[in-house]
A and B are shown apart, each in its own frame.
Chain A
């Protein structure tokens, strides 16, 4: 039986093949070839697309290129959600590679955050970690860390260094042995069928009686329709890191193993494709 640590590696090294094509409305000097890239599931779009930007800039005049943004089948892709979440939410049933349209004009101000530099991504990423630790340990672990430890987490993500990241992140995953897990599980539930960005509430890893809460328990409380009802065909897919864990999977284990680097368990609920 494989080791639980292999899960961490599988999660970290998850890649989505993507094909970037330039939006047809963009003004170009010459034809821009599509650009193929393996995107890390746990990273952020704007962090890993420098090559894409360079590639298409070559085909354009500098003054025609405003801030780059991405779109999939009409939906602007929110860079501040992890790439894996964007894929699972919008494109999980698509044919690979994932076809992403690149825009340099008409930035959808109402739907996307600007991302002028990597330091914005870093601030967003670190705030996620801090919020997660506030839920998990009343911020005690993250506050006890030194500046360089925070930096190491960010550098680990930025440079795709699993060991560098986990050397620090393991501290965020610890909890007192006499409590059954974290104080609260940092999670976010995303859905395509609602305007709400995500569901996030306080939820403990164990019940007051001490039994471990499962993924099913969480959904029952937060999003009951996502659970299959007896005798009816499954209506929703509950996808975490591109897979569908069973409802009886302990939530604490999921939080420790399938969380994104921002320490949140990002759960995507999408309708089962009708075909």
Chain B
């Protein structure tokens, strides 16, 4: 889980943050003045300072906040001057926006605030719809407005070009003032709350910011997003009465507290209307006591009343934002805040400590107990001895009526500000609420005694082992002398007391499973003990044990090896029952007995045979496979079977694995762990993957690694790739890339970047086949999609009544399978839902405001607006599911990636910097700094400017960088040297635009030693012809193959692909690993394909394999290219399937 921050303000107005990985409150030294309130999102924190201005603190990221300004220069042709700035009176401005309606000369562009700076000067854009234009970037047309082309024609009367300039937000990691609005009244803000980022992804980084003024008015900040983090202007929100405090959740919940002590709840919040439309009133939980404070999350509302009681609102969700009733909770608090994942933080009324609500889960939103966060502040250590005793007494002192005094004195120190600490201000100013009946809000006291924040927990001790010990020791010895101590959990009393005024968890990503070190600074993480982090490994005690064990072996065994062993070795058999997808038609699952017989092989290696016993017409038969011939074990989890596939070279050729299903997931994992251990043993493979290893990923996200044999790239007889042995590595990834010095990076389905830790195992193979360290929890999130389909009829318009021939009204993308919101399950039992169904507006083709896409009929191409010819429409619903596994991967937060590439050749030493490039999920090109074999994660990103978003990138052995833009065009980046990896000055014009092959849109590129290969969106594989050291861009694209999904070119210029399925199958996804044969310096394109493991493979990288094959004298003519295997089109042919 990435590190995130909890923000808080103490009673003296000092701002602190506490990292989820940290154990100390760090003071925000940058803050020039005291703050009253803070409200945090993951990317930033807003605050009200004591000068009553609003300040914004954006967390620095390697990815700059950058805004592209654009304007168009328009020209018309006349016979005298040719093209000139002399336009007709009816024409647009000479400098205008894209529509021509706005006058936009270059010097009209101003920086919006002092927090911005220009990145460079204006320059003309020389790309036009994915194609390079002539110098100057002009595009031509007959007249304004019309279709423009990049070529000048005889009838081109007008031309225009686009000018670009970038500005950059520079005030990162510092509190920057939001310029006050001229029209605002001199009414200072008293409360602020941000949220709403879950409502819509469009535009990216969108936030809702709400503020309340001292006079009880409410304001909404318009236009906040990633490119405009400060927002544009404040807009007043009409209110039924004066408001004192507001809370805005990550989704569509917004509650506020009125001066009179009731709540108002915002209604009508939607994607199109994040501001909402109207207010509903909810009464205070207690008829006599006014509400003072409210905090909302995604699905929860917590509140406080004037008597400091804590209340939880029942039945809150987006359809019913008001909820149904109050439950009184334990604890007395003065302030509450709901962070991410509906986790709750509070400030206690008694000691002003920050409490975290433990045990809040999606099924138990009210949590279990309050637990005080007891970590020191960073300044505490220097004067801890002096302050410890006095602060302790201050903790007792700081309660009840005395509190008001202290706040007053605090305010007096800055009298002209007229500000009051929020909570105590409320206490002073709230008038008694009118007595109203509580028909809809029954007070439920049943949960009252469920917890208490400080009661010590007594554990009951069982009396162990009485009966067990008796049998052997009776008559010989007295039973074991156990004494029973009652362990009382220590009370984690902090020795000093910070006094908190406000806390905000809006940027703090924790959940009930997070391991936080906030509560007891002495608790050691478990890794340091048994997963043995590096310092422990080098500890003297460990060294001593290893040394003494080897001495013991020498002393007790080395001279006596000729002695007879007390226990004779024998064959070990493990048996079980499973189901087998039988080989003959009709294919079905049949019950079989399954046995693995293991024995010691001739060279001491363990070997084994696998037997599958089945009945065939009452006759007992069996099928067997030698463990040393198994090439891969692939888990094939789906929602009904816990199954896995076993391949041998022969089975790979047949495209027909042995498919087995276990009764439970646990049983399957036990078998997989045992079988893979047995396979690795029989091949003598152990420990972490080598630097030369090939990595691949299936469409289920499973990761496999293969140790290449030296003759894998041999000529003319390479190792057939169906004989390659793949073993699984724990974790879940969509992309994995490596190089030959052992640097391996991966990207998850949720675009999280991961680096390989050098470990192995994880996943199911916990235990002996895993490394003992370097394994971490890995979380991945992916969306499951279903489609709602409708047909138009003249009577009722679009309805869910289709024609009898139509697809299901709720279906998958193909329309062939019925998929409803209720019957859809997560992809496999390993996945769990983490969100509700929501309309997905980001589908390609665009949607209307309700998410619909229209078409003439099913199936067709859909568009996001309705025309007269459209008789059907569909919309996509998405639901997120989450998988948690373990693997040798460590997260590289915070930037999400879609592609990554590592220089493939060997580095000279372990401190040499290895170029690593990546594309962020927003399309930014990034270069990782500080990547070496010792620090494979590097330390930061360098952003490399481009004029358009990119989607694929590859760096070759000579540091040449090729990339594909989102519009499908290719770019080559010149003069990239190892010394300045991002090229001279990291300016955008270093990119050479390379025309795409035959109007195809490219989607992926891979660069080997010298070869450049690309794949286009229609599955064609292209080779770049004519690349020479003096002309590195090459001259033309040459077609190699079709039905290709991915390509990986390695440091030997070897070429491997994922070949896509042959058209005509119903199956949506299948991929096969293929190896290009006959590649040699004189014939870099190779001759034919050799087919390896598949289908169901999504990705391969061979960029680690720089082992030169043994040179054989060419005895005979090259072997004839192996014929394409006949593809088995059975469903079973794709073991992994989709």
Do the two chains belong together in a single complex? yes
- Identify the A interface with B (CB < 8 A): 1-8, 10-11, 14-17, 36-40, 43, 48-49, 51, 78, 80, 96-97, 109-113, 123-124, 127-128, 130-131, 134-135, 138-139, 158-161, 163-164, 166-167, 170, 177-181, 184, 188, 196-202, 204, 206, 208-212, 241-246, 248-250, 252-253, 256-258
Pick out which of these stretches binds chain A: B301-309, B466-474, B577-585. B466-474
Q: B471: which A residues are within 8 A, CB to CB?
A: 123-124, 127
Task: Determine how close the nearest CB of chain A comes to the CB of B167; give it in whole angstroms.
Answer: 47
Top-6 shortest CB links A-B? A131-B465, A197-B477, A17-B560, A243-B548, A48-B566, A210-B523
Least CB distance from B539 to A in Å reads 8
Contact A252 B564 (CB under 8 A): no
Query: Cβ of B481 and Cβ of A196 under 8 Å apart?
Result: yes
A8 and B770 CA atoms in complex are apart in Å by 14
Chain B positions 551-578 with a Cβ under 8 Å from a chain A Cβ: 551-553, 555-557, 559-560, 563-567, 569-570, 572, 574
**Distance, CA A249 to CA B530, complexed state (A):** 12
Collect the chain A residues with CB atoms within 8 Å of residue B544's CB.
245-246, 249
Contacts of B532 in A (CB 8 A): 4, 253
Contact (Cβ within 8 A) A131 B469: yes
A-B contact pairs, 27 of them (CB 8 A): A1-B537, A6-B546, A10-B550, A43-B566, A49-B566, A51-B564, A80-B472, A97-B563, A111-B476, A113-B473, A159-B570, A166-B768, A167-B670, A179-B526, A196-B478, A197-B473, A197-B478, A201-B481, A209-B490, A209-B522, A210-B523, A211-B522, A242-B556, A243-B552, A246-B544, A250-B541, A257-B545
Q: With A and B bound together, what is the CA distance between A51 and B539 in angstroms? A: 43
How far, in whole Å, are A245 and B668 apart by their CA atoms in the complex?
39
Does B803 lie at the interface of the complex (its beta carbon under 8 Å from any beta carbon of A)?
Answer: no
A113 to B141, CA, bound (A): 105
Q: Give every chain A residue within 8 A of B550 (Cβ-Cβ).
A: 10
Q: A164-B572, A210-B520, A245-B545 are in contact. Are A252 and B530 (CB under 8 A)?
A: yes
A164 CA / B557 CA spacing, docked (Å): 23
When the two chains form their complex, are residues B540 and A248 in contact, meaning their CB atoms are under 8 A apart?
A: yes
Q: Which of the residues A97, A160, A212, A249 comes within 8 Å of B524, measured between beta carbons? A: A212
Indicate if the CB atoms of A37 and B563 lie closer than 8 Å: yes
Known: A109-B475, A123-B472. 7 other contacts (CB 8 A): A1-B538, A15-B556, A36-B564, A51-B566, A158-B567, A180-B529, A253-B529
Question: Quick check: A249 and B545 within 8 Å, CB to CB?
Answer: yes
Nearest-Cβ distance from residue A74 to partner chain B, whole angstroms: 17
Q: Is the CB of B476 within 8 A of A78?
A: yes
A245 to B560, CA, bound (A): 25
Q: Which residues of B contact A196 (CB under 8 A)?
A: 477-478, 481
CA A170 to CA B677, docked complex, whole Å: 14
Scan B1053-1080; emit 1 where CB is below 8 A from any A CB, else 0. 0000000000000000000000000000
User: Among residues 659 to 693 in chain B, which have CB atoms less than 8 Å away from a CB atom of chain A?
Assistant: 670, 673-674, 677
Give the residue of B472, B488, B515, B556 whose beta carbon is less than 8 angstroms from that of A113.
B472
Q: Which of B483, B552, B560, B606 contacts A38 (CB 8 A)?
A: B560
Count chain B residues whose beta carbon lies closer than 8 angstroms to a beta carbon of A. 74
Where the two chains meet, the residues of B that have a C-beta atom closer than 8 Å to any C-beta of A are 461-462, 464-465, 467-469, 471-478, 480-485, 487-490, 515, 520, 522-524, 526, 529-530, 532, 537-542, 544-546, 548-553, 555-557, 559-560, 563-567, 569-570, 572, 574, 598, 606, 670, 673-674, 677, 766-768, 771-772
Nearest CB in chain A to that of B513: its residue: A178
Residue B469 contacts which of A36, A127, A177 (CB distance < 8 angstroms)?
A: A127
What CA separation (Å) do A124 and B673 show in the bound complex? Answer: 30
How many A-B residue pairs have C-beta atoms within 8 angstroms? Tell me.
214
Q: Is the CB of B462 within 8 A of A134?
A: yes
Taking CB atoms, residues of chain A closer than 8 Å to B606 are 163
List the B side residues contacting A5 at CB < 8 Å: 768, 772
Least CB separation from A97: chain B residue = B560
Contacting pair A113 B465 (CB below 8 A)? no
Question: Which of A14, A48, A166, A197 is B552 in contact with, Cβ under 8 Å?
Answer: A14
Shortest beta-carbon distance from B575 to chain A in Å: 9
Please name all residues of chain B whose beta carbon is closer than 8 Å to the beta carbon of A15 when the two chains form the complex. Answer: 556-557, 560, 565
With A14-B556, A243-B545 in contact, do A128 and B468 touch (Cβ < 8 Å)?
Answer: yes
Q: Which residues from chain B contact A134 at a C-beta distance below 8 Å?
A: 462, 464-465, 468
Q: From residue B924, how far is it (CB to closest CB) to chain A in Å?
A: 36
B541, A180: Cβ atoms under 8 Å? no
In the complex, which residues of chain B have a beta carbon less than 8 angstroms from the beta carbon of A179? 526
Q: Which residues of chain A are near B548, meaning CB under 8 Å?
A: 242-245
Contact residue among A10, A78, A208 (Cβ-Cβ distance under 8 Å from B553): A10
What A residues does B539 contact at CB under 8 A? 248
CA distance A241 to B481 in the complex (A): 23
Docked pose: A188 CA to B472 CA in angstroms: 15
Residue of A nearest to B526 (CB): A177
